[in-house]
Amino acid sequence: MLEKIYFWKVKRGYNAPIIVTAAIAASLFIIIIGAFAWWYYGIKAPADEKRAAQQQALRKKQTDLAAIASFYKKSLAGVDIHQAINVLEEIRQNTLTLSAMGVAIKNRRFICDIKSCAVGFNIEQGTILTLPAINFFGKTYSASVPVRREKDRAPANDFEYSRLALPVTENKMFIQWGKKQALSLHSCNEIIAYVNTYNSLLNSEKSNKAQRDGIILFKSYPASAVRDKEAALAGHLSFRGLLSASWEMQIGNGNDRFSAGTAEINAQLALYKQAYRDAFLIKKIESNDKGIKISGGLVCKA
């Protein structure tokens, strides 16, 4: 009996180190888990959130800066009035030169954007087709004959000149913006008031038949798609506050409006007489059945 009691006591004594070890291990595990939780939720997670917020803010800043640059690049694209007048004169002079060379021109068509022009001619029926070269802003260009494909209708032109490069494709304000210089912008209210007065004077001078000839028609009024972004980033870039509008003008072939007689000269006169000339940027000049249509943008500030 005593032996049994002694055996039981010895057996229970041997279990004590295991329990203590298990308790220590459990305590260490809890401490480690607690320390990890404190490090993760107290240090790492806030740092990750802060880093993610900073990266998100950086991406938004870069996106906003790109949107502002895109808006300014699009708004300031175009040739100025002086350059547009030169383009019209170059087209007129080449038309006169071809006529002087004996080309029996029936009509001419052209379209110009901010980079180049394309000019086509039809000749009188029964005349011999010749293809003389032309000189456009100092460069020589050869004529080409449009190819008529089967099932296509007859080409619009008997012969044409394409990709006639413009010598200057950027205006003064576009260059200033590219160099991060200040822009000399006029007040939008002043320009709109001027356009309304200009249009009223034209309408009061002419009959209803020619009422729209030379009128500046706004297709959109001055606005900015990035005004809030630009204001928010004023510390990171120069705030210019540019507003952009679009407009067009139709010039007729007749001489009732500008007393010239040809559409090119009429268009030159209509452009030359404008006030706030640096605010009007020409993006497209094209001939049509009515004469010449000029369209472009207008830049100003609030």
More confident residue, 46 or 133: 133
Alpha-carbon radius of gyration of the chain: 38
- pLDDT at 254 (0 to 100): 63
- pLDDT at 257 (0 to 100): 47
Rounded-to-integer distance, Cα 15 and Cα 9, Å:
10
- pLDDT at 208 (0 to 100): 53
- pLDDT at 8 (0 to 100): 45
> Any idea where the domains of the chain sit in the sequence?
1-75, 77-82+179-301, 87-165
Give the model confidence (pLDDT) of 169-211 as tens digits.
889 999 999 998 889 899 999 999 999 999 998 887 655 545 5
The answer to whether residue 99 scores a pLDDT higher than 70 is yes
pLDDT tier, 140 (very low <50, low <70, confident <90, very high otherwise): very high
Average pLDDT, the chain: 85
Give the CA distances from residue 184 to residues 57, 240, 272, 276, in Å, rounded to whole numbers and listed in that order: 32, 10, 20, 11
Can you give the pTM of this predicted structure? 0.79
Give the model confidence (pLDDT) of 16-25 as tens digits.
677 777 777 7
The answer to whether residue 7 scores a pLDDT higher than 70 is no
Residues 6+ apart with CB under 8 A from 299: 75, 76, 173, 183, 185, 242, 243, 244, 245, 279, 281
Least confident of 50-64, 81-95, 217-231, 262-276: 50-64
Rounded-to-integer distance, Cα 188 and Cα 166, Å:
29
Angle of CA points 189, 190, 191, to nearest 5°: 95
- pLDDT at 245 (0 to 100): 97
